[in-house]
């Protein structure tokens, strides 16, 4: 990692650039959304993000009866991919679910390598709000990737949001305990020299 | 709390099991999964869980059968049933068999979160309640050790308690102040069928009639000036337990009638209230007064007296059971050693003899206070006679049982005169009266002694 800190730009396409997290858009995703996600993960979590060109939507993850994509299958697909950064975050505009839940804003492997978020239920006519919601869900799921569980503090981004209003009330910040834990996990992760190339 | 809750997810569909487990893991629960009822029961032989999420429809053993097995092993288990749409009737049936809630799959994340939080909070409260109840029972058991009995008289009291405790009948405890009537009441409660219920103690002598009425019956909002909100009465709080009315001889006849009605009807109304409130409690009353005498003087209602005096226990004063003094003194010594962190080993023979000789007008309460005082003041490893010498002075001062005011005055004047070596001027000054008054009193005493034939 660059001692001066990672660049805030998400326009990283050079596959040889070292990165901690690969951001993988699926289907048609507005480039600005990718930039917002990458910039916030870098700024809030401290992981250097490399944004990939858009990938095709994984057809086998589509559940026709529910008209939704299975988040678990997308995560499995992302996680199976060889190489790249140790963390991978998928970005999709379609609605996501898991078999037991009617929908999810995002899903991740707790302490694992892959996660995915959907923008489908986060839309707001006010663009600023829309981008904030996407950034919050992306940072929240990245927190799970790093190993954090849900937090009970009302002013912590790792708190579970029951609905969009609760998500809007959350700050784009962690509480001091979660912040400390994230910093500790990332320090351990960097010391292990696991940053991908 | 929720973070430490152990959850077992049982579902024959692996994807359901895994996705639910992953979600719960992220929510901070410790999660295990089982693919069938049999597998779940195998896990249950190793360990129990706080919350169970059970799919209703499973091959071989369905969720309802598994629920019955879990409840047999762990009656307080919190089980949430998972069902498909269209099987809600089965889910409702499962709740009648002890499940705490059900979820129709697929469920909304907010619904899952709400149900889990509610069940976890209820489970945590129940556990906390159980722990507190056990602590309370331990405290009460330790408290009861305060009934230290060596004498035949107290053994008879304890035998009476054991005999009458299981009954629901009212008990009247009589005895002097400080003999431990409240301890006897608590012991009856703890040995009774209401032991799990509350023990509500009220000192009737410490309150005015209107305050006592409000305390016992409670009141509705606006029942009287200052009743800014409704309040439950102690009669209501004692439901399912024991109501202990101390100093029952002090209550007014009006209050006796009101209480008699509650005892007869098993219900009452709050002050300013319109609807009857049912209550079932065991009544224990205590008094240091002679209720029979009060009844004769028509200060205590006969019907109320018989209602509260189904069983009676008389706790004898300490001076009538001197064998209890050494064991009680040792018991209080250990208690105050613990409280003060001291390591006093005991009383010297002389000190114990002095304790046993003292009349203890304040009974066990006075003995307790004396031991507390000497434990604080003693610096050595044993409590000697010197440490309790103050008792002899108190004994002299309080050895006045049966004396009239006149006789007591005479005794005091004589002792002051003796201290002043017969000098009337000095004695009058010390007594705070003038010399002429003292001389007149002395003449009067001599005249009365001569009349009674003591001076010839």
Does B417 lie in the same domain as B392?
A: no
Name the residue in chain A with its Cα closest to that of B11.
A100
Q: What is the model's pLDDT at position B347?
A: 93
Q: How far apart are CA A38 and CA A29, in angstroms?
A: 13
Structure-token pair, residue B318: 């300490």
Does B389 lie in the same domain as B356?
A: yes
Chain A residues closer than 8 Å to B106 by CB: 97, 99-102
**C-beta separation of B184 from B313 below 8 A:** yes
Does B50 lie in the same domain as B20?
A: yes
Domain ranges of chain A: 21-138
Does B300 lie in the same domain as B171?
A: yes
pLDDT confidence bin for B298, thresholds 50/70/90: confident
pLDDT confidence bin for B455, thresholds 50/70/90: very low
Q: What value does the mean pLDDT of chain B take?
A: 86
Put simply, the answer to whether A160 touches B3 (Cβ < 8 Å) is no
Distance of residue A193 Cα from the nearest chain B Cα, in angstroms = 26
Chain mean position to CA B58: 51
Does B239 lie in the same domain as B379?
A: no
Name the residue in chain A with its Cα closest to that of B20.
A100
Q: How many CB pairs under 8 A join A and B?
A: 57
Please name which of A63, A127, A126 lies closest in space to residue A95, comparing C-alpha atoms: A63
For B49, counting Cβ atoms within 10 Å of its Cβ (0-12 exposed, 13-18 middle, 19+ buried), the class is buried
Chain A residues closer than 8 Å to B33 by CB: none
First to last CA, chain B: 89
Does B294 lie in the same domain as B346?
A: no
Put simply, the answer to whether B19 touches A99 (Cβ < 8 Å) is yes
The reply to whether B135 falls in a domain is no
Does B364 lie in the same domain as B303?
A: no
Topology of the domain comprising A21-138: Collagenase (Catalytic Domain) (3.40.390)
Over residues B162-169, mean pLDDT: 90
Put simply, whether B15 touches A (Cβ < 8 Å) is yes
pLDDT confidence bin for B243, thresholds 50/70/90: very high
Does B373 lie in the same domain as B312?
A: no
Does B266 lie in the same domain as B300?
A: yes
The reply to whether B133 falls in a domain is no
Put simply, the answer to whether B25 touches A110 (Cβ < 8 Å) is yes
pLDDT confidence bin for A4, thresholds 50/70/90: very low
Over residues A1-14, mean pLDDT: 42
Over residues A166-194, mean pLDDT: 87
Does B181 lie in the same domain as B112?
A: no
The CB density around residue B286, as the number of other CB atoms within 10 Å, is: 26
Decide if the complex's ipTM is over 0.90.
Answer: no
Domain that holds residue B238: 145-316
Please name the residue that has the structure tokens 């799959």.
Answer: B105
Q: Domain holding B247: CATH number?
A: 3.40.50.300
Put simply, the answer to whether B110 touches A101 (Cβ < 8 Å) is no
Q: How far apart are CA A32 and CA A44, in angstroms?
A: 18
- Percent share of chain B, pLDDT over 70: 92
Q: How far apart are CA A148 and CA A186, in angstroms?
A: 12
Chain B residues closer than 8 Å to A162 by CB: 109-110, 113-114
Structure-token pair, residue B296: 């004769």
Put simply, whether A29 touches B (Cβ < 8 Å) is no
Does B308 lie in the same domain as B181?
A: yes
Which of B272, B291, B316 delimits the end of a domain? Answer: B316
Please name the residue that has the structure tokens 């006149």.
Answer: B406
The reply to whether B220 falls in a domain is yes
Put simply, whether A109 touches B (Cβ < 8 Å) is yes
Q: How many domains does chain B have?
A: 4
Which of B294, B316, B338 delimits the end of a domain? Answer: B316
Put simply, the answer to whether B19 touches A150 (Cβ < 8 Å) is no
Q: How far apart are CA B319 and CA B309, in angstroms?
A: 26
The reply to whether B139 falls in a domain is no
Which of B285, B316, B347 delimits the end of a domain? Answer: B316
Q: Domain holding B325: CATH number?
A: 1.10.8.60
Over residues A4-12, mean pLDDT: 42
Q: Which stretch of A17-21, B163-167, B366-370 has the lowest confidence by average pLDDT? A: A17-21
Put simply, the answer to whether B13 touches A99 (Cβ < 8 Å) is yes
Q: Which of B16, B25, B27 comes nearest A100 by C-beta?
A: B16
The reply to whether B137 falls in a domain is no
Does B354 lie in the same domain as B230?
A: no
Please name which of A93, A60, A92, A63 lies closest in space to residue A76, comparing C-alpha atoms: A60
Q: What is the model's pLDDT at position B281?
A: 93
Over residues A69-76, mean pLDDT: 94
Q: What is the model's pLDDT at position B31?
A: 93
Question: Which strands form B30-34's sheet, in the order they lie side by side?
Answer: B30-34, B6-10, B51-55, B78-84, B101-105
Q: Write phi, then psi, for A45 (nearest 5 degrees).
A: -90, -35
SS3 A29: coil
pLDDT confidence bin for B80, thresholds 50/70/90: very high
Tell me: the pLDDT tens digits for A102-161?
A: 999 999 999 999 999 999 999 999 999 999 999 999 999 999 999 999 998 889 999 999
The CB density around residue B110, as the number of other CB atoms within 10 Å, is: 15
Q: Domain holding B429: CATH number?
A: 1.10.10.60
Put simply, whether A117 touches B (Cβ < 8 Å) is no
Tell me: the pLDDT tens digits for B381-423?
A: 899 888 888 876 655 555 555 667 777 788 778 777 777 767 7
**Given a cut of 70, is residue B71 above it in pLDDT?**
yes
Distance of residue B107 Cα from the nearest chain A Cα, in angstroms = 5
- For an interface test with A, the pick among B19, B116, B118 (most A C-beta atoms closer than 10 Å) comes out as B19
Put simply, the answer to whether A101 touches B23 (Cβ < 8 Å) is yes
């Amino acid at each position: 990692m660059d001692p001066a800190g990672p660049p805030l730009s998400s326009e990283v396409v050079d596959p040889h650039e070292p990165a901690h997290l690969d951001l993988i858009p699926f289907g048609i995703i507005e480039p600005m959304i990718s930039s917002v996600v990458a910039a916030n993960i870098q700024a809030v979590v401290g992981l250097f993000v490399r944004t990939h060109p858009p990938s095709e939507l994984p057809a086998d993850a589509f559940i026709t009866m529910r008209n939704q994509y299975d988040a678990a299958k997308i995560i499995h697909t992302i996680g199976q991919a060889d190489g790249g950064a140790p963390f991978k975050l998928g970005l999709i505009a379609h609605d996501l679910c898991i078999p037991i839940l009617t929908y999810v804003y995002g899903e991740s492997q707790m302490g694992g390598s892959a996660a995915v978020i959907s923008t489908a239920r986060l839309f707001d006519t006010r663009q600023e709000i829309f981008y904030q919601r996407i950034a919050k869900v992306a940072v929240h799921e990245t927190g799970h990737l790093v190993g954090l569980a849900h937090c009970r503090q009302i002013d912590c981004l790792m708190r579970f949001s029951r609905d969009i209003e609760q998500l809007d009330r959350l700050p784009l910040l962690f509480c001091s305990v979660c912040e400390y834990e994230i910093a500790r996990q990332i320090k351990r992760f960097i010391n292990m020299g696991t940053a991908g190339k | 709390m929720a973070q430490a809750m152990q959850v077992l997810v049982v579902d024959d569909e692996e994807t359901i099991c895994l996705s639910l487990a992953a979600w719960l893991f992220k929510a901070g629960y410790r999660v295990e999964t089982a693919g069938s009822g049999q597998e779940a029961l195998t896990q249950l032989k190793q360990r129990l869980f706080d919350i169970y999420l059970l799919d209703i429809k499973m091959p071989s053993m369905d969720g309802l059968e598994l629920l019955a097995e879990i409840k047999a092993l762990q009656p307080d288990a919190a089980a949430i049933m998972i069902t498909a749409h269209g099987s809600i009737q089965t889910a409702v049936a499962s709740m009648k068999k002890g499940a705490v809630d059900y979820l129709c799959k697929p469920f909304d994340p907010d619904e899952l979160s709400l149900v889990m939080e509610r069940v976890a909070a209820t489970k945590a409260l129940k556990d906390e309640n159980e722990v507190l109840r056990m602590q309370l029972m331990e405290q009460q058991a330790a408290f009861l050790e305060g009934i230290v009995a060596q004498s035949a008289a107290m053994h008879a009291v304890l035998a009476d308690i054991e005999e009458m405790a299981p009954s629901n009948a009212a008990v009247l405890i009589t005895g002097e102040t400080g003999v431990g009537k409240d301890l006897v009441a608590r012991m009856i409660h703890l040995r009774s069928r209401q032991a799990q219920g509350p023990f509500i103690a009220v000192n009737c002598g410490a309150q005015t009639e209107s305050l006592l009425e409000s305390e016992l019956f409670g009141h509705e909002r606006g029942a009287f000036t200052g009743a800014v909100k409704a309040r439950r009465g102690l009669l209501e709080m004692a439901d399912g337990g024991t109501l202990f009315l101390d100093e029952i001889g002090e209550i007014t006849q009006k209050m006796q009638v009101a209480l008699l009605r509650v005892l007869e009807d098993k219900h009452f109304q709050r002050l300013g209230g319109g609807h009857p409130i049912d209550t079932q409690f065991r009544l224990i009353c205590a008094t240091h007064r002679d209720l029979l005498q009060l009844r004769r003087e028509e200060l205590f209602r006969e019907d109320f007296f018989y209602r509260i005096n189904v069983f009676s226990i008389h706790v004898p004063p300490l001076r009538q059971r001197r064998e209890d003094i050494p064991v009680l003194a040792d018991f209080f010594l250990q208690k105050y050693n613990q409280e003060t962190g001291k390591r006093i080993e005991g009383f010297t023979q002389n000190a114990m003899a002095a304790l046993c000789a003292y009349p203890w007008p304040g009974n066990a309460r006075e003995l307790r206070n004396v031991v507390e005082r000497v434990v604080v003041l003693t610096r050595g490893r044993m409590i000697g006679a010197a440490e309790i010498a103050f008792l002899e002075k108190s004994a002299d001062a309080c050895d006045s049982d049966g004396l009239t005011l006149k006789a007591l005055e005479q005794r005091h004047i004589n002792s002051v005169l003796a201290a002043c070596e017969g000098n009337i001027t000095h004695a009058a000054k010390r007594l705070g009266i003038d010399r002429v008054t003292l001389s007149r009193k002395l003449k009067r005493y001599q005249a009365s002694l001569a009349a009674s034939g003591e001076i010839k």
